[in-house]
Amino acid sequence: MAKCIMVQGTSSNAGKSVMVAALCRIYSRRGYKVAPFKSQNMSLNSYTTKENGEIAIAQVLQAEAADIEPSIHMNPILLKPKGNFKSQVIIQGKAICDMNFYDYQHDFRQTALEAIKESLAILNEEYDLIFIEGAGSPAEINMREEDLANMEIAHLADADVLLVADIDKGGVFASIAGTFLLLDDYDRKRLKAVIINKFSGNLDILMPGIEKIEKIIEAPVLGVLPYDHSLHLPEEDSASLFEHKFEKNRDITIGVIRLPKIANFTDIDPFEFEDDVGLKLIDINENIKDDELDAIIIPGTRNTVEDMIAIKESGIGDGIKELAKKIPVVGLCGGYQILGKKIFDESNRESPLGTIEGLGLLEIESYFSLDEEKIVQQSEGILVVNYEIGNDGLENNENGIIRGYEIHEGTTELKGSKPLLKLIKGIGNSKNSEFDGAIEGNVFGTYLHGIFHNYNFRRSFLNYIRKQKGLTQKFGDDPYETKKDYSIDKLAQLVENNLNMDFIDDLIEK
C-alpha cells in the first residue's frame, strides 16, 4: 500500500494544486514512485488521458511533475459546470450525465464514492507515495456529510493532512484558526501541520503571529512560501482569468475572446512563454480595436450555441469578421464550430434555440445530436500539404506529426473549406471523415486542443505574423516546454528551501 499525504486548503486558490505538484517533483526525484490524486475536481480545463478519458488539467501538471503519464484514476470524478446549477458528471474519464448539485450530492454520492475507492486502490498498488489534493476548504460544515473531496477522502486513504493557507488576501491567521476550530475531533486529528503560502514582505514581522497561531492550533507551521510571480503554470479555473496578469505591450498581441462559457483556455498557455508575444483577453462586450491585435483566438466553450448567440447580440462578431480580412482568426473546438456558417441543434442538446447562424468565416456546418456520444480522444495528424495561412505554410512537428486531444460534442462537415489536418489517430470532424479542422485564407479552426503546444506549428504561426510586421523570425528550442519544466523545478526548490521537509519526511516514513 502506498503512503498517502493530503494537501488541503483554507480556501479555494490557496495553492493546493501547486503544492501537490511541488511535492510530486521533490519526491519523484528522490526515487519514490509518486502519483497525484484528486478524488473530485470541478474544472472547465480538462485533458484526454492515455485511456481516452477526461481528467482535470491540474492533475496532468502534477503527473508531469512526478514524471509519469496522466491517468483517469488520478481524478476519478470530474464535474464540468454547464450553468443553471448543473454540471456534466464525468466518472473515471467518461461523461455519465448532466446533474444538478443537489441530486448529485444526495442521489449519486455512493456511485461517485465507489469510483473514488476503486481508483485510489489502483494507484495504491502501483505507487509508493500518493499526494492527494483536496478541494475548497475542509471546514464547509454545511456540507460535511456530502463530502467527497476533503476529510472523507483523508480518512479513506488514511492520509495525514497538510493545510495550506493563502496570506496574499489577508486574514491568514483567522482562516487557519477557523479551519481547526470548525472541524470536529475526528477530522481535526488528521491535520498535522500548516503551510503559509503567497507571502510578500518582511518575514520577521510575521513571526510573532506564527508563534501565537502554533499555540492556538497546537500544530506547527512548516514554513512560509514566498509569492513568486515568475512561475508559469497552467491555470485551473475560469475565475483565474479575472486575476491573471497577462503580459501586454509586446511586439505581437493576440486577442483571446473571453466567451461567457469559456473552457479549456489552457490552449493559449504556450503563447505566454514567448518573449515577444502578449495576450489580451477581450470581453464580448468590448469594442475590438484593429490596430491593437495581430491575431484572434476564439477558444473552447462548454456551450457553443449560447456563446454564438452572445457573440451575435454583443456585436463583437462583426468586428471579428472585419479583422479576419487582415489578420489570422483561429477557432479551437467550440470556437471552431462558431467560425462556421451554421450550427444545427434540432434535438436541443446545447440549447432550446435549434439551428443558428455562425460567423460564416469558414464554409463548414456543425451538428449536435442526442444520439452522439461525447468525443474524448487523443489525436494525431499531419497538416494537409500546400494549405497555407496567408502565403506562408504552417508546419508539422519535427517528427511530422501534430499531436493534441479532443474533448467535444458535435460533428462538423466541410462545405467548401479545405481540411486543416489529415488524421492518423482520432475522430476530428466526424467519425465518417479522415480529416480535422478547416482553413480558408487567414482563418482556420480545429477540434484538437493543445495544437499550439506543438512547437513547430506555433512557431510557424507566429513567424507568419512576425514576417507580416517586419519582425525577425524566431527558431530554436521550445520556450514553453523549457520554461514550464523550469517553473516546476523552481517551485519544488522554493518548497524545499522554505519548508521543514524533515517533518514531511517523518510523515512519509512513519
Which residues, in sequence order, are bridge partners of residue 438? 445
| Three-state secondary-structure class, residue 405 | strand
C-alpha cell at 56: 482535470
Contact assessment for residue 254 and residue 330, using Cβ atoms and an 8 Å cutoff: no
**Active-site position among 4, 24, 73, 333:** 333
Give 133-184 as a DSSP string.
E--S-TT-GGGGGG-SSSHHHHHHHT-EEEEEEE-TTS-HHHHHHHHHHHS-
Q: How far apart are CA 268 and CA 272, in angstroms?
A: 8
Continuous segment of H or E residues that includes residue 125: helix 109-126
CA 270 to chain CA centroid, Å, is: 13
Q: How far apart are CA 117 and CA 114, in angstroms?
A: 5
Q: How far apart are CA 209 and CA 204, in angstroms?
A: 10
Contact assessment for residue 252 and residue 465, using Cβ atoms and an 8 Å cutoff: yes
The residue type found at 133 is E
Residue 97 falls in the annotated catalytic set: no
| Three-state secondary-structure class, residue 33 | coil
Q: How far apart are CA 422 and CA 435, in angstroms?
A: 5
**Active-site position among 4, 73, 408, 449:** 449
C-alpha cell at 368: 449536435
Contact assessment for residue 42 and residue 87, using Cβ atoms and an 8 Å cutoff: yes
The residue type found at 253 is T
Contact assessment for residue 406 and residue 376, using Cβ atoms and an 8 Å cutoff: yes
CA atoms within 13 A on the CB side of 392: 15
Which one, of 287, 329, 291, 296, lies nearest residue 469 by Cα? 291
Backbone angles phi, psi at 301, to 5 degrees: -145, 150
Contact assessment for residue 93 and residue 54, using Cβ atoms and an 8 Å cutoff: yes
Strand order in the sheet with 443-446: 277-283, 252-258, 295-298, 329-332, 443-446, 438-440
Residue 333 falls in the annotated catalytic set: yes
Which residues, in sequence order, are bridge partners of residue 263? 300
Cite the active site residues.
Answer: 333, 449
